[in-house]
Amino acid sequence: MDIFRFRKLDQPGPHNAVLTIGNFDGVHRGHQGLIRRVVEEAARLDATGALMTFQPHPQSVLGQRRVPIITGIAHRVHLFQSLGLDAAYFIPFTRELAATPPEDFVQEYLLGYFQVKKLIIGYDFHFGRGRQGGAGLLEELSLRHGFDLEVFPEYVHEGEKVSSSSIREAILKCDFARATDLLGRPYSVLATVEQDAGRGRKLGFPTINQRCKEIYVLPFGVYACRVNYGGETYGGVANYGMRPTVDGRTAWLETHLFGFSGQIYNEMVEVIPLLRLREERTFAGLDDLKAQITRDADAAREFLAGM
């Protein structure tokens, strides 16, 4: 799978693409169905199955707040690839792009760069200045410019509409069972392990440390979790937050794996939170922090043993 992030259309694009466009945060059941449809049509038409998405989230640019994400870029790429896409394109979202008239967007991106053969969009997709572009305008433009258009219907699972907003709501409530049901897979964080100061090891609880360059919708706190790495699954206890006791400047996911003693750096590891044990808080010193980690680890082991 080819992944592209570009600011200028100065590289040749795919020829005769079957394309979909959207945010795809979460890559939930509805997204998966849409992407599988793109892959299916690309195979039928002997075309490139491609996806175009935006970074950062448009609401983070146009709104007054940073939108917490469900899945990071690397995680999304992994999921896109697992679904069989040929290419994904991450387009920097700016106010200038948001102000582009829909017809110009189609001319520059869909026709000029992607040479789109077929466009498949979600039922609620809108684009261009003031979100003026939608299925109606795209149908008119597809007839004018000679590409096919398909509108993928609303996805309902067990009577509930599947959407990124409903999944965010579930995660904010730490209702991981509901989030998993809507996603079609366990809610998790998949990110690269980085080398840190080794404070956890000094406290007797070595951790894998994953820097969160984007803020996840997961509430800050301590969690009982499962961890997938190297084809094995481990139990663990994880802290997601700003680490106020030791620095408080950057969000990290720090996870202590039960029964694992090796070191992992520069590897992608998946952490699956299962139960929120407590909120993140500041401790008077490292001794108090160590005592609390001990209690957290015991609570996580007890919970995991009962599953």
Q: Predicted confidence band at 255 (pLDDT cuts at 50, 70, 90)?
A: very high
Q: Which two tokens stand for residue 248?
A: 């408080």
132 or 196, which is more confident?
A: 132
- Residues of the chain with pLDDT > 90, as a percent, come to 68
Ranges 88-102, 125-139, 164-178, 237-251: which has the least confidence: 237-251
Specify the pTM. Answer: 0.91
Q: What is the dihedral of CA 58, 60, 64, 65, to 10 degrees?
A: 150
Cα 304 from Cα 284, distance rounded (Å): 29
What tokens does 135 get? Answer: 């299925």
Token digits of residue 271: 């952490």
Write down the pLDDT at residue 284: 77
Highest mean pLDDT among 27-41, 115-129, 259-273: 27-41
The predicted pLDDT at position 183 comes to 97
User: Helix (H, G, I), strand (E, B), or coil: what is residue 306?
Assistant: coil
| Torsion-angle region of 159 (φ positive above 0: left; ψ -120 to 50: alpha; else: beta) | left
Kindly tell me if the per-residue pLDDT of 273 is higher than 70: yes
Q: What is the pLDDT of residue 132?
A: 85
Domains and CATH numbers, the chain: 2-161 (3.40.50.620), 188-305 (2.40.30.30)
Task: Write out pLDDT tens, residues 236-253.
Answer: 999 999 876 666 677 899
Cα dihedral across residues 169, 173, 174, 176: positive or negative: negative
Mean local confidence (pLDDT), 127-141:
89
- Return the pLDDT at 200: 65
User: For 104-116, what is the HEC assignment?
Assistant: HHHHHHHHHHCCC
DSSP code for 282: -
What does the mean pLDDT of the chain come to?
91
C-alpha Rg value of the chain to the nearest Å: 22
34-58 confidence digits (pLDDT tens): 999 999 999 999 999 999 998 888 8
Residues 6+ apart with CB under 8 A from 178: 170
Give which of 301, 290, 229, 299 is closest to 264, Cα–Cα.
229
Q: Which pLDDT belongs to residue 171?
A: 98
Is 90 exceeded by the pLDDT of residue 8? no
Listed in sequence order, the DSSP H helices in the chain are 29-45, 58-62, 73-82, 95-98, 102-105, 135-145, 164-172, 176-183, 199-202, 286-305
Residue 186 has pLDDT above 90, yes or no: yes
Write the pLDDT tens digit of every residue in 283-300. 878 888 889 999 999 999
